[in-house]
C-alpha cells in the first residue's frame, strides 16, 4: 500500500484534532499537499470534527477539486462555505454558489442548506429565500436551515420562520429539536410569547427536549425575553441543570424583572450544588448585591474572584463600581480610575453613585471627563447630569447643560425635557420651564405633572388647575401622582367643590384603590376645613397604611384635635401599622400646638426607646417648640445645646419666641446673638431678635439689626387666608 493510500485510511478513522493536524502535516511534507484525493479526504475529516482550518488552504484546495472534478460534492461545498463565513469572503462564497449550478448541486438538500446558511450569516435573507425555493425535495435540514436564517433577523420579517414551520408540517415533516430551538430563538427575538408557548406545548406533546439542557435553556431565554419570569423559573425547576448557562439565564431573568433577592438566592443555591460560577454568574451576583445593598456578600464575591485569579471584564467591573459606590464613593472611584477601558455605562454607574452620596459637583466633573474621553454620552448620562444640576439649584449650570444639548443637536428626549423643566422649577425660574414645556412636540403624563407641580410650588395654583384641564382635553388619563399635584393646588386655593369633584373622579376611575391619592384627599379636606370629611374617608379605607395614619394624625393636629390624634397614634402601636419618622413628627406637632408637654415628651421617649428611631432636626424642633410654649425655657435651651447641629434656625426661633412670651431675657439674648451669627436670610428671624432687644430697651442693638437687614436680601413668606363662596375661593 502506497503512502497516500495509508494516509487516506488513517484519515478515515481519525477522530482527534491533534492527530488530524499531524496527518495533514505528514501529507504536506510527503509531497501530497496538492493531491486532490487527499485534499478531499482532509475536507471530510475536518468537517466530521466540525473544524475549519486556514481559509487559504481550504479555498485553494476547493479550486483544485473543482478543476479536477474529484470529490466535488455537497460536503465539499459546505466545508468551503463555512470557511468563507469564517474569513468573511462573501464574493468567493457567491462563486461557490455559482459552481453549484454548474455541477447541478443547487437543488441538493445538503448543499442547498449550506448555501442558505451562508447567505443568512452575511445578512442576505433574500438570497437565502431564493436558494430555499430552488431546492426540489426539501427535507427537515433544508426547512431548519431556512427557519434558522429567519431567526437571525429581529424585525418583523423574522415572523417568516413560523410560516416556514407551517409549510414543513403541511409537507408531513415533523420538527426536530434543532428546528424547535431555532423557532424558540425567533420567538425570543420578537418577544412573541404566544408562539413561544405553542412551541413549548408541541415539545411537551412530542417528548422533544426532555432532559436536554440546551433546549430547556432556550425555553428559559424565550420566557425571560417575553417577560414571563414565572414560566422561566418553572422550566428551571423541572431541570437538573449541570451547566452554568442555565443558572445564568434564570439569574438574568430575575435581575431584569427587578427580583434581585431571588437572583441572589439562586446564586447561593448554585454554589451549594457545587456548580462552578463563570464570570457572567459572578457579575450578576455582584449586581444583585449592589441593588440589594448587600455590601458584605458583594465583597465576599469580589474576594473569591481575587483568590481564583478571575480578572473582571467591563461588565463585572461595572457591577463592582455600582456596589461600592452605594457605600464608599472614594473606594468606588479608585476602582473606576484603575480601569483601562471605560464606556458610557460605567461612567453612568459612577455618576449615579455620586448622586446617591449627594456629591453633585463630582457628577458634573465626571460628565466633563466622559466628554473629554470622546465617549458619546447617552440618555442616562444626561439624566444624571441634569439631576445633579437640579439638586445644586444652579440656574447658570442648568442653562449651560440645556444649551449644550441644543448646540450639539441632540434629540430632546421627553425624559430629558421633563428633567430640565423640573430643574428650572427648583431654581425658581418658572418662565424657562414654561419655554421648554411649550416647545415639546410630545408631552407624556410626567411632563404635565412636572409642569403642574412647578406652578403649585410657586403659588400659581390657578394656572396648575388650567394645565390639568388642558391635559385632560388631550385624552391623557391622570395617575395618582398627577392627582396629588392637583389636590395640592386645590388645597392652596381652598376650593372645596373642586376637591369633591376630584374625589368622585378617583372613586369612578380607580374604585377608591389609589391609596396615595386618598391620603392626599384626607390632607386636602383638612386644609379646606372639613375634618369631618377627612375622618369619614379615613374610616372608609379597607386597608390602612402608615401613610394613611400619618395623614389623619396631621389633619387632627391641624384642627387642634389633639385627643383624637393621640388616640389614633396609640391604636397604631399594637397593630400591624408601625409608626415611622413622619408619624412622630405629626404627633409631636399636635402636642406642641396643644401644649401637651408630658404627652409630647412621652411620645419622644417612645420614638427613641421603643422604635429606635434617631431623632432628626424636625423632631428636635417640635420638642423645643413644645417646651418653649410651656415656659420651660431652661429645658428647651439645654436641648438646643445638645442637638447635633447648632445652626437650627427653626429651633432657635421657637426658643426666642418663648423667651419673649415668658420674659427669659438672659437666655433670649444668648439665643439672639447666636441667630445673628448664622446670618439667616429670613426676615422673620431678625424681626424676632429686634423685638426682643426693643422690649429690653436696647435701642442701639435694634438700630444695628435694622441696618443689617437693609444690606441683605431678605425673604418674607406671605401668609394668606381663603374661604369658598358660591364655589369661588376668596
Cell numbers 441667630: residue: 675
Look at residue 23 in the predicted model and tell me its pLDDT: 72
- pLDDT confidence tier of residue 382, bands split at 50, 70 and 90: very high
Residue 508 cell numbers, joined: 369612578
Give the DSSP H/E element, type plus range, for residue 728: strand 728-729
The predicted structure's pLDDT at residue 523: 92
Q: What pLDDT score was predicted for residue 513?
A: 61
Per the CB < 8 A criterion, the answer to whether 665 and 634 are in contact is no
pTM: 0.70
Q: What is the mean pLDDT of residues 148-167?
A: 83
Q: Is the pLDDT of residue 310 over 80?
A: yes
Question: Where do runs of H (alpha helix) occur along 152-294?
Answer: 160-170, 177-190, 193-206, 213-225, 229-237, 244-256, 260-272, 279-292
Q: What is the pLDDT of residue 296?
A: 92
From 458, 411, 405, select the one nearest 434 (Cα to Cα): 458
Does the structure show a pLDDT above 80 at 284?
Answer: yes
d(CA 248, CA 255): 10
Query: Is the torsion defined by CA of 403, 404, 408, 414 positive or negative?
Result: negative
Q: Which residues touch 253 (CB under 8 Å, ≥6 apart)?
A: 220, 223, 224, 229, 232, 233
Best-predicted range by mean pLDDT among 85-94, 457-466, 511-520? 457-466
Q: What is the pLDDT of residue 410?
A: 66
C-alpha cell at 102: 454548474
The three three-digit cell numbers of residue 330, written as one number? 472614594
**Model confidence at 552: pLDDT above 90:** yes
- Higher pLDDT: 211 or 555? It is 555
Phi then psi for residue 441, to 5 deg, are -75, -35
pLDDT at 680: 54
**C-alpha cell at position 462:** 390657578
Q: Which residue has the higher pLDDT, 535 or 21?
A: 535
- Lowest-pLDDT choice from 6-15, 87-96, 314-323: 6-15
The per-residue b/e assignment along 65-81, b for 16 or more CB within 10 angstroms, e otherwise, is bbeeeebbbbbbbbbbb
For 124, the grid coordinates are 442576505
Pairwise CA distance, residues 158 & 195, whole Å: 12
CA distance 629 to 152: 76
3-state secondary structure of 388: helix
3-state secondary structure (DSSP) of residue 431: helix
Checking if the pLDDT of 594 tops 70, the result is: yes
Strand extents, DSSP E, 275-409: none
Residue 712 has pLDDT above 70, yes or no: no
pLDDT number for residue 688: 66
Confidence of residue 359 (pLDDT cuts 50, 70, 90): very high
How many other C-beta atoms can be found within 10 angstroms of the C-beta atom of residue 442?
Answer: 9
pLDDT in tens, 52-100: 777 777 777 777 777 766 666 777 777 788 888 888 888 888 888 888 8
> What burial class does residue 664 get, using C-beta atoms within 10 Å of its C-beta: 0-12 exposed, 13-18 middle, 19+ buried?
buried
Which residues are registered as beta bridge partners of 682? Answer: 715
Residue 454 has pLDDT above 90, yes or no: yes
CA Rg, the chain, in Å? 37
pLDDT (0 to 100) of residue 703: 67
Contact indicator for 204, 233 with CB cutoff of 8 Å: no
pLDDT at 56: 76
Highest mean pLDDT: which range of 102-116, 141-155, 164-178: 164-178
Is the pLDDT at 706 greater than 90, yes or no? Answer: no
Question: Which grid coordinates belong to 2?
Answer: 502506497
Nearest to 329 by CA among 305, 362, 369: 362
Q: Which residue has the higher pLDDT, 72 or 331?
A: 331
Q: Can you read off the three cell numbers belonging to residue 151?
A: 431567526
Contact status, residue 675 vs residue 656, Cβ threshold 8 Å: yes
645 by DSSP, 3-state: which?
coil
Lowest mean pLDDT among 20-29, 166-175, 532-541, 636-645: 20-29
> 459637583: which residue's cell?
361
- Residue for grid cell 429670613: 682
- Distance CA(438)–CA(453), nearest Å, equals 16
676 pLDDT tier (thresholds 50, 70, 90): low
Helix (H, G, I), strand (E, B) or coil at 721: coil
Higher pLDDT, 235 or 65: 235
* Pick from 141, 106, 144: nearest CA to 127: 106
| 258-275 pLDDT, tens digit each | 999 999 999 999 999 989
Q: Is the pLDDT of residue 3 over 50?
A: yes
Q: What is the mean pLDDT of residues 195-216?
A: 88
Dihedral sign for Cα 75, 77, 82, 87, please: positive
| 633 contacts: CB under 8 Å, gap ≥ 6 | 627, 655, 658, 659, 662, 664, 667
Share of the chain above pLDDT 70, in %: 86
Report CA-CA distances (Å) from 10 to 4, 58, 214: 10, 20, 34
Q: What pLDDT is recorded for position 714?
A: 45
Give DSSP secondary structure letters for 267-279: HHHHHHTTPPP-H
Residue 345 near residue 319 (C-beta atoms within 8 A): no
Lowest-confidence pick of 75-84, 465-474, 553-562, 581-590: 75-84
Q: Is 101 a residue whose pLDDT tops 80?
A: no
Distance CA 598, CA 596 (A): 6
Q: Given this model, what pLDDT does residue 713 score?
A: 44
Q: Give me the chain's average pLDDT, please.
A: 84
Average pLDDT in the 703-730 region? Answer: 53
pLDDT exceeds 60 at position 623:
yes
Spatial separation of the C-alpha atoms in residues 219 and 208, rounded to whole Å: 12
What's the pLDDT tens digit per position in 639-654?
A: 888 887 666 677 878 8
- 711: Cα within 13 Å, side-chain hemisphere: 7
Asked whether residue 730 carries a pLDDT value surpassing 60, the answer given is no
Tell me the C-alpha distance between 431 and 421, whole Å.
Answer: 10
- Per-residue pLDDT tens over the stretch 396-434: 999 999 998 888 766 678 999 999 999 999 998 999 999
Work out whether strand 724-725 and strand 728-729 pair parallel, antiparallel, or are unpaired.
Answer: antiparallel
Kindly indicate the confidence band of residue 302, based on its pLDDT and cuts at 50, 70 and 90.
very high
Amino acid at each position: 500500500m502506497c503512502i497516500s493510500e495509508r494516509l487516506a485510511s488513517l484519515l478515515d478513522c481519525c477522530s482527534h484534532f491533534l492527530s488530524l493536524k499531524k496527518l495533514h502535516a505528514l501529507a504536506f511534507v510527503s509531497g501530497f499537499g496538492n493531491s486532490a484525493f487527499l485534499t478531499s479526504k482532509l475536507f471530510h475529516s475536518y468537517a466530521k470534527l466540525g473544524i475549519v482550518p486556514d481559509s487559504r488552504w481550504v479555498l485553494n484546495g476547493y479550486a483544485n477539486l473543482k478543476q479536477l472534478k474529484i470529490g466535488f460534492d455537497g460536503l465539499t461545498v459546505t466545508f468551503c462555505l463555512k470557511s468563507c463565513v469564517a474569513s468573511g469572503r462573501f464574493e468567493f462564497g457567491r462563486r461557490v454558489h455559482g459552481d453549484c449550478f454548474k455541477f447541478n448541486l443547487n437543488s441538493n438538500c445538503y448543499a442547498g442548506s449550506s448555501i442558505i446558511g451562508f447567505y443568512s450569516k452575511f445578512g442576505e435573507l433574500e438570497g437565502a429565500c431564493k436558494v430555499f425555493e430552488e431546492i426540489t425535495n426539501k427535507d427537515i435540514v433544508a426547512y431548519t436551515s431556512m427557519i434558522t436564517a429567519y431567526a437571525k433577523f429581529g424585525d418583523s420579517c423574522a415572523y417568516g420562520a413560523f410560516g416556514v414551520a407551517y409549510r414543513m408540517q403541511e409537507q408531513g415533516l415533523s420538527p426536530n429539536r434543532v428546528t424547535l430551538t431555532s423557532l424558540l430563538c425567533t420567538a425570543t427575538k420578537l418577544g412573541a410569547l404566544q408562539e413561544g408557548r405553542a412551541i413549548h406545548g408541541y415539545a411537551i406533546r412530542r417528548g422533544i427536549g426532555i432532559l436536554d439542557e440546551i433546549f430547556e435553556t432556550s425555553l428559559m431565554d424565550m420566557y425571560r425575553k417575553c417577560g414571563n419570569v414565572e414560566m422561566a423559573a418553572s422550566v428551571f425547576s423541572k431541570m437538573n441543570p449541570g451547566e452554568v448557562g442555565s443558572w445564568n439565564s434564570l439569574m438574568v431573568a430575575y435581575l431584569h424583572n427587578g427580583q434581585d433577592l431571588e437572583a441572589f438566592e439562586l446564586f447561593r443555591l448554585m454554589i451549594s450544588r457545587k456548580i462552578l460560577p463563570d464570570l457572567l454568574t459572578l457579575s450578576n451576583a455582584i449586581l444583585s448585591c449592589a441593588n440589594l445593598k448587600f455590601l458584605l456578600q458583594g465583597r465576599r464575591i469580589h474576594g473569591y474572584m481575587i483568590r481564583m485569579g478571575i480578572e473582571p471584564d467591563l461588565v463585572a467591573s461595572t457591577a463592582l463600581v455600582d456596589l461600592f459606590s452605594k457605600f464608599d464613593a472614594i473606594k468606588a472611584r479608585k476602582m473606576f480610575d484603575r480601569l483601562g477601558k471605560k464606556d458610557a455605562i460605567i461612567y453612568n454607574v459612577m455618576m449615579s453613585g455620586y448622586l446617591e452620596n449627594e456629591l453633585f459637583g463630582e457628577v458634573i466633573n465626571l460628565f466633563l471627563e466622559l466628554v473629554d474621553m470622546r465617549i458619546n454620552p447617552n440618555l442616562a448620562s444626561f439624566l444624571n447630569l441634569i439631576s445633579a444640576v437640579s439638586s445644586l439649584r444652579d440656574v447658570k449650570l442648568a442653562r449651560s447643560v440645556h444649551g449644550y444639548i441644543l448646540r450639539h443637536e441632540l434629540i430632546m428626549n421627553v425624559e430629558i425635557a421633563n428633567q430640565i423643566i423640573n430643574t428650572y422649577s427648583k431654581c425658581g425660574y418658572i418662565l424657562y420651564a414654561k419655554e421648554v414645556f411649550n416647545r415639546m412636540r410630545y408631552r407624556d403624563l410626567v411632563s404635565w405633572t412636572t409642569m403642574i407641580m412647578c406652578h403649585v410650588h410657586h403659588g400659581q395654583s390657578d394656572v396648575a388647575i388650567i394645565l390639568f384641564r388642558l391635559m385632560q382635553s388631550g385624552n391623557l388619563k391622570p395617575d395618582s401622582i398627577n392627582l396629588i399635584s392637583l389636590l395640592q393646588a386645590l388645597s392652596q386655593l381652598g376650593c372645596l367643590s373642586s376637591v369633591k369633584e376630584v374625589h368622585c373622579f378617583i372613586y369612578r376611575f380607580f374604585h377608591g384603590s389609589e391609596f396615595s391619592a386618598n391620603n392626599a384627599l384626607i390632607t386636602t379636606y383638612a386644609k379646606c376645613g372639613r375634618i369631618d370629611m377627612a375622618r369619614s374617608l379615613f374610616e372608609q379605607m379597607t386597608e390602612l397604611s402608615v401613610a394613611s395614619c400619618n395623614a389623619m394624625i396631621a389633619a387632627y393636629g391641624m384642627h387642634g384635635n389633639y385627643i383624637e390624634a393621640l388616640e389614633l397614634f396609640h391604636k397604631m402601636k399594637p397593630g400591624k401599622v408601625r409608626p415611622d419618622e413622619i408619624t412622630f413628627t405629626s404627633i409631636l406637632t399636635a402636642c406642641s400646638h396643644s401644649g401637651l408637654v408630658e404627652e409630647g415628651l412621652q411620645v419622644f421617649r417612645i420614638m427613641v426607646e421603643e422604635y429606635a428611631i434617631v431623632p432628626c432636626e424636625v423632631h428636635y424642633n417640635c420638642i423645643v417648640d413644645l417646651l418653649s410654649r410651656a415656659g420651660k425655657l431652661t429645658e428647651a435651651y439645654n436641648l438646643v445645646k445638645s442637638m447635633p447641629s447648632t445652626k437650627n434656625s427653626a429651633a432657635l426661633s421657637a426658643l426666642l419666641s418663648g423667651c419673649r412670651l415668658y420674659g427669659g431675657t438672659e437666655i433670649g439674648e444668648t439665643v439672639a446673638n447666636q441667630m445673628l451669627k448664622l446670618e439667616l436670610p429670613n426676615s422673620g428671624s431678625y424681626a424676632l431678635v429686634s423685638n426682643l432687644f426693643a422690649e429690653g430697651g436696647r435701642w442701639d442693638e435694634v438700630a444695628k439689626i435694622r441696618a443689617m437687614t437693609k444690606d441683605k436680601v431678605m425673604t418674607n413668606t406671605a401668609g394668606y387666608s381663603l374661604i369658598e363662596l358660591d364655589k369661588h375661593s376668596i
